[in-house]
């Protein structure tokens, strides 16, 4: 190829390729830029959450009233389970960075061990999130929705929550779920709640020890509890339907947007974790069959590691804004 | 490409040089302990909500500011030490971090400002929601 005109003089080398001004390979750099843009997506979600929270400043649920469950243990333990989830994710970040470190030393056995532990941590986190979603969707105490779309909770004289089933008076009338085979013009019906509003109202009137806790936060940071006479008036004039658990239309915790953001943001994060677990598994098997050994570089572990740490990073913020603030 | 990974040793000091580690591995465990401590402090504050942090500072509870600051501290150490941002060139670091910090601040400002305004409109009686 002597006839090809190629200028190889020193001053033109800058544009000849093969130079890395950022001292990072193309793949690693692009992973960083992807993460930058992805962080903006998550910021969009979390800032929108902040928007709605500022908008409904006085009626937003208090996280400690909502996320109180720990698997296998009954009772009221806010924060414990999410703290565990956070720790799991940070721990799997550590095993990931140890894998990267072992990769730099070309230590195949250590890389595969740490990758395996990272994948394991990812699965534990995803299962925890599945549990979190299940308890959130199922709900605990049940509530009454008002005509204005607010939520009414019930408490006893000490301010402890009272479940609907503890005071509602079940009537003998049967109300069967409307299904496809019974109707000519079937348009679908939401699942029936375990009590009707009338049953809850009758039970409330018969139990003087139950009070209404409104959706509005008082000065002291707790929800306002009404006196017995105010409670009766509140329920009789404003009550409309029974709400149990959470869906995208209504939830027993507070404004509908609260559940929507919960599903959307933790769901989008969980989706990222699932993708991360998948990538980690692919890399794990590539380590096992010696792909990177032959390449003489474990940089792929590093790139996947960046993504995995980012997932951890996002969770740190989700944790703060959903459970702490 | 591998030459970079091999040749460049990691920067092993954190806390502006107050704490130096002997190896990269040791630094990882050190940072983990620090992150776990910060998380533990957050969880304890979240459970007990001490009365002394309940005052209003710049439109928010002091406790919430503490949570946000601790979160940013955690984010810094995850990015700098787990993602090895400390070892990248200054230009790559600035491209990623400054861009994100600028755009994120802007987005948060716009949305929270607007949310606060709508809350004001709601609460000054133009819209009735409690019925």
Are A324 and B118 within 8 A, CB to CB?
no
Spatial distance between the Cα atoms of B5 and A111, rounded to a whole number of angstroms: 15
User: What's the number of domains chain B is made of?
Assistant: 2
B50/B65 same-domain check: yes
Please write the tens of the pLDDT for every residue from A15-27.
777 788 888 889 9
Neighbouring residues of B105: CB distance < 8 A, sequence distance ≥ 6: none
B113/B130 same-domain check: yes
B28/B42 same-domain check: yes
Whether chain B has a CB inside 8 Å of the CB on A221: the answer is yes
Nearest residue to A153 via CA among A261, A263, A244: A244
Residue range A271-295: mean pLDDT, rounded: 96
Q: Note the pLDDT of residue A10.
A: 55
Residue boundaries of the structural domains of chain A: 25-139+257-324, 143-172+189-244
Q: Note the pLDDT of residue B6.
A: 45
- Residue A185 DSSP one-character state: T
Are B92 and A22 within 8 A, CB to CB?
yes
Chain B residues close to A59, C-beta within 8 Å: 129
B125/B111 same-domain check: yes
Is the dihedral angle over the CA atoms A179, A183, A184, A186 positive or is it negative? negative
Whether the pLDDT of residue A4 is over 80: the answer is: no
Whether chain B has a CB inside 8 Å of the CB on A32: the answer is yes
Quick one: closest CA in B to A93, which residue?
B82
The tens-digit pLDDT sequence of chain B (131 residues) is 444 444 447 888 888 888 888 888 999 999 999 999 999 999 999 888 888 888 888 878 899 999 999 999 999 999 999 999 999 999 999 999 999 999 999 999 999 999 999 999 988 877 788 88
Are A316 and B129 within 8 A, CB to CB?
no
Min CA distance, B19 vs chain A (Å)? 19
The pTM score is: 0.89
Q: Note the pLDDT of residue A8.
A: 55
Choosing among 3.40.630.30, 2.40.50.100, 1.20.120.80, 1.10.1130.10, the CATH entry for A25-139+257-324 is 1.20.120.80
The interface predicted TM-score of the complex, written ipTM, equals 0.90
Percent of the residues in chain A that have a pLDDT greater than 90, as a whole number? 70
Spatial distance between the Cα atoms of A212 and A156, rounded to a whole number of angstroms: 9
Are A39 and B104 within 8 A, CB to CB?
yes
Pick the residue of B46, B61, B65, B102 with the most A CBs within 10 A to test the interface with A by mutation: B46
Q: Note the pLDDT of residue A65.
A: 86
Segment among A41-50, A294-303, B57-66 with least mean pLDDT: B57-66
Whether the pLDDT of residue A236 is over 60: the answer is: yes
CB-based contact A81:A71 (threshold 8 Å): yes
Say how many CA atoms lie within 13 Å of A262 toward its Cβ.
28
Please write the tens of the pLDDT for every residue from A179-212.
777 777 767 777 788 888 999 999 999 999 999 9
Average pLDDT, chain A: 90
CB-based contact A150:A214 (threshold 8 Å): yes
Determine which helix (DSSP H) or strand (DSSP E) holds A144, and give its type and residue range: strand A143-146
In DSSP notation, A39-93 reads HHHHHHHHHHHHHHHHHTTTTSPPHHHH---BTTB-S--TTHHHHHHHHHHHHHH
Placement of tokens 């776990």 in the chain: B36
B96/B79 same-domain check: no
B101/B76 same-domain check: no
Chain B residues close to A54, C-beta within 8 Å: 112, 115-116, 118-119
B43/B101 same-domain check: no
Chain A, 236 to 255: residues with Cβ < 8 Å from chain B are 238
Spatial distance between the Cα atoms of A125 and A92, rounded to a whole number of angstroms: 9
CB-based contact A207:A168 (threshold 8 Å): no
Question: Residue A6 — pLDDT band, cuts 50, 70, 90?
Answer: low
Are A50 and B35 within 8 A, CB to CB?
no
Q: Note the pLDDT of residue B67.
A: 95
Q: Note the pLDDT of residue A75.
A: 80
Pick the residue of A90, A234, A304, A310 with the most B CBs within 10 A to test the interface with B by mutation: A90
Neighbouring residues of B13: CB distance < 8 A, sequence distance ≥ 6: B19, B20, B21
Range of the domain at B69: 1-87
Whether the pLDDT of residue A9 is over 70: the answer is: no
Chain A residues close to B130, C-beta within 8 Å: 146, 148, 150, 216, 238
Decide: residue A200, CB within 10 A, 0-12 exposed, 13-18 middle, 19+ buried. Answer: buried
Chain B residues close to A104, C-beta within 8 Å: 5-6, 24
Residue range A28-44: mean pLDDT, rounded: 96
């Amino acid at each position: 190829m002597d006839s090809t005109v190629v200028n190889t003089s020193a001053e033109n080398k800058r544009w000849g390729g093969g130079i890395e001004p950022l001292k990072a390979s193309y793949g690693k750099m692009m992973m960083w830029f992807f993460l930058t843009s992805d962080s903006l997506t998550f910021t969009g979600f979390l800032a929108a959450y902040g928007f709605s929270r500022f908008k409904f400043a006085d009626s937003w649920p208090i996280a400690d009233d909502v996320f109180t469950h720990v698997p296998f243990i009954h009772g009221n333990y806010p924060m414990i389970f999410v703290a565990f989830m956070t720790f799991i994710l940070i721990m799997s970040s550590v095993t990931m960075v140890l894998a990267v470190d072992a990769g730099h030393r070309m230590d195949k056995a250590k890389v595969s061990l740490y990758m395996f532990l990272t994948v394991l941590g990812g699965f534990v986190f995803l299962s925890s999130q599945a549990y979190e979603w299940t308890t959130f969707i199922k709900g605990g105490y049940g509530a009454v929705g008002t005509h204005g779309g607010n939520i009414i909770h019930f408490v006893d004289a000490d301010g402890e929550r009272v479940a609907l089933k503890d005071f509602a008076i079940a009537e003998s009338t049967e109300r069967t779920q409307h299904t496809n085979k019974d109707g000519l013009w079937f348009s679908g019906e939401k699942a029936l709640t375990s009590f009707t509003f009338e049953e809850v109202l009758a039970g409330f009137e018969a139990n003087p020890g139950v009070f209404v806790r409104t959706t509005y936060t008082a000065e002291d940071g707790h929800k306002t509890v009404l006196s017995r006479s105010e409670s009766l008036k509140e329920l009789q004039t404003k009550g409309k339907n029974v709400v149990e658990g959470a869906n995208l239309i209504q939830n027993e915790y507070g404004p509908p947007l609260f559940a929507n953001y919960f599903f959307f943001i933790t769901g989008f994060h969980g989706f990222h974790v699932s993708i991360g677990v998948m990538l980690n598994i692919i890399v794990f098997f590539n380590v096992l069959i010696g792909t990177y050994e032959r390449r003489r570089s474990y940089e792929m572990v590093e790139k996947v590691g960046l993504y995995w740490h980012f997932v951890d990073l996002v969770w740190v913020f989700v944790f703060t804004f959903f459970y702490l603030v | 490409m591998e030459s970079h990974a091999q040749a460049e040793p990691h920067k092993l000091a954190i806390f502006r040089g107050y704490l130096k580690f002997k190896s990269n591995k040791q630094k990882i465990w050190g940072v983990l302990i620090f992150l776990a401590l910060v998380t533990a402090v957050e969880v304890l504050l979240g459970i007990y909500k001490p009365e002394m942090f309940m005052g209003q500072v710049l439109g928010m509870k002091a406790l919430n500011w503490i949570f946000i600051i601790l979160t940013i501290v955690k984010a810094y150490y995850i990015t700098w030490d787990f993602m090895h941002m400390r070892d990248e060139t200054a230009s790559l670091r600035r491209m990623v971090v400054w861009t994100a910090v600028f755009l994120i601040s802007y987005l948060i400002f716009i949305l929270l400002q607007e949310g606060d305004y709508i809350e004001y409109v709601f609460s000054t009686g133009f819209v009735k929601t409690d019925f």
